[in-house]
Structure 1
Amino acid sequence: MHAPRTRVQRRPVHGVLLLDKPLGLSSNQALQKAKWLLRAEKAGHTGTLDPLASGVLPLCFGAATKFSQLHLDADKTYETTVRLGVKTSTGDAEGDVIQSRPVECSVGQVVEVLDRFMGPIEQIPPMHSALKKDGKALYEYARDGETVEREPRRVVIHDLELLDMQLQGDSPELRLRVRCSKGTYIRTLGEDIGDALGCGGHLTMLRRTATGPFDVSQCIGLDALEALSAEERTDPLLPVQTLLQGHEAVTLDADHAGRFLSGLRRRGDWADSPRVAVFGPPPADHPAVASSLSPVLLGSAHTMAGELIPGRLLSPIEIQQILETSPELSS
Structure 2
Amino acid sequence: MFGFLNLNKPFGWTSHDCVAKTRKLVRLKRVGHAGTLDPAATGVLPIALGKATRLLQYLPGEKAYRATIRLGVRTTTDDLQGEIITEKSVTNLTFKTVENALQQFQGKIEQIPPSYSAIQVEGKRLYDLARKGETVEAPVRTVEVFKIEILDWREGEFPEIDVAIACGTGTYIRAIARDLGSVLETGGTLAALQRTASSGFILENSLTFTDLETQLQAGTFQPLSPDLALQHLPSVSLSAPADQKWCQGQKIAFADSSSQILRVYSEDGRFLGIGQTQDDVLVPLVVLV
Give the TM-score band, short-chain normalised. Answer: over 0.9
Q: Secondary structure at the match of 1:254?
A: coil
Between the two proteins, what is the percent identity of the paired residues? 36
1:157-198 deviation digits (Å, cap 9, x = unpaired) = 11011111112x244101111111111111111011112112
Q: 2:212 aligns with which of 209, 222, 225?
A: 225
1:183 paired residue among 155, 170, 186? 170
Higher gyration radius (CA):
1
Alpha-carbon RMSD across the aligned residues, in angstroms, is: 1.7
Aligned 8 A contact 1:156 1:181 in 2: yes
Structure 1: runs of 5+ lacking an equivalent? 1-12, 282-293, 320-331
Residue 239 of structure 1 is matched in structure 2 by 225
Distance, in Å, in 1 between the alignment partners of 2:235 and 2:113 is 38
The reply on whether 1:105 has 2:79 as its aligned counterpart is: no
Q: Aligned to 2:16, which of 8, 11, 28?
A: 28
Cα offset for 1:273?
5.8
The CA distance in 2 between the partners of 1:268 and 1:201, in whole Å, is: 54
* CA distance in structure 2 between the aligned counterparts of 1:272 and 1:231, rounded to whole angstroms: 48
For the residue of structure 1 that corresponds to 2:241, the secondary structure is: helix
- Separation (CA, whole Å) in 2 of partners of 1:128 and 1:41: 29
**Which of residues 17, 34, 40 in structure 1 aligns to 2:28?**
40
8 Å CA contact retained: 1:38, 1:233? no
Name which of 153, 157, 164 aligns with 1:165. Answer: 153
Q: What 5-or-longer segments of structure 2 have no aligned partner?
A: none
Asked whether 1:82 is paired with 2:69, we answer yes
Q: Which residue matches 1:306?
A: 280
Task: Output the CA distance in 2 between the equivalents of 1:93 and 1:192.
Answer: 15
Q: Residue 216 in 1 paired to residue 203 in 2?
A: yes
Residues 276 and 285 in structure 2, CA contact (< 8 A), matched pair in contact too:
yes
Partner residue in 2 for 1:248 = 234
- Asked if the contact 1:129/1:138 (under 8 Å) is kept, the reply is yes
Conserved 8 A contact 1:19-1:221: yes
Q: After the TM superposition, which residues 315-330 of structure 1 pair with which residues of structure 2 at under 5 Å, given as runs?
A: 319=289
Whether 2:138 is the aligned partner of 1:150: answer: yes
CA contact (8 A) 1:248 1:273 kept: no
- The separation in 1 between residues aligned to 2:213 and 2:97, in whole angstroms, is 47
Q: 1:14: which partner in 2?
A: 2
- Once residues 221 and 28 of structure 2 are traced to their aligned partners in structure 1, the CA distance between those partners, rounded to angstroms, is 10
Partner letter of residue 141 of structure 2?
R
Instruction: State the Cα deviation string for residues 186-240 of structure 1 (Å, max 9, x = none).
Output: 11110111121121111110000011321111111111111234452532x1112
State the match for 1:54 in structure 2.
42
For residues 271 and 18 of structure 1, the distance between their equivalents in structure 2, rounded to whole angstroms, comes to 36
User: Which among 240, 253, 265 is matched to residue 267 of structure 1?
Assistant: 253
CA contact (8 A) 2:200 2:229 kept: no
Q: Give the SS at the match of 2:145.
A: strand
| Amino acid aligned to 1:297 | F
Aligned twin of 1:206: 193
Of 237-246 and 26-35, deviating more is 237-246
Q: Secondary structure at the match of 2:81?
A: coil
Give the equivalent residue in structure 2 for 1:324. Answer: none
In 1, distance between residues paired with 2:144 and 2:216? Answer: 43
- 1:146 CA drift (Å): 1.6
Deviation at 1:245, TM superposition (A): 1.3
2:183 matches 1:196 = yes
Q: Is contact 1:45–1:57 with CA below 8 Å preserved after alignment?
A: yes
User: What TM-score results when the alignment is normalised by the length of structure 2?
Assistant: 0.94
